């Protein structure tokens, strides 16, 4: 049902944990399935220099959180805002249709963290 990449990111999540003094924080949830995801970012010169996550949810939610941190780190904020929901699923070699909402959460949480960064900077 899940790809090897999904299972690897679930069993060995990258960049997991709360970040001290983040520049931006984005939290999103899906009341239907109960998943809750928070992305933390540090930004320097418009580049995401550090990123982490905390996720309460299913294995797919944890895997997508882990994957989006790997995709986004080192990208400019403009590049990171272009990461789509499908990009996350594709990087994980696909998700079952009933779990696609998890990649939606990951992309939405990243965008929320970037929006929060912009709000705090202005």
Residues marked active site are found at 33, 102
Residue by residue, what is the 3-state secondary structure of 27-80? EEEECCCCEEEEEEEEEECCEEEEEEEEEECCHHHHHHHHHHHHHHCCCEHHHH
The rounded distance, in Å, linking the Cα atoms of 92 and 3 is: 7
């Amino acid at each position: 049902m899940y790809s090897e990449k999904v299972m690897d990111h679930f069993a060995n999540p990258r960049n997991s944990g709360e970040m001290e003094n983040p520049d931006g924080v984005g939290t999103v949830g899906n009341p239907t399935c109960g998943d809750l995801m928070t992305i933390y970012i540090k930004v320097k010169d418009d580049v995401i220099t550090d990123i982490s996550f905390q996720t309460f949810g299913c294995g797919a939610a944890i895997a997508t959180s882990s994957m989006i941190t790997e995709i986004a780190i080192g990208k400019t904020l403009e590049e990171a805002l272009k990461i789509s929901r499908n990009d996350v699923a594709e990087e994980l070699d696909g998700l079952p249709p009933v779990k696609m909402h998890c990649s939606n959460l990951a992309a939405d949480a990243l965008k929320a963290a970037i929006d929060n960064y912009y709000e705090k900077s202005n």
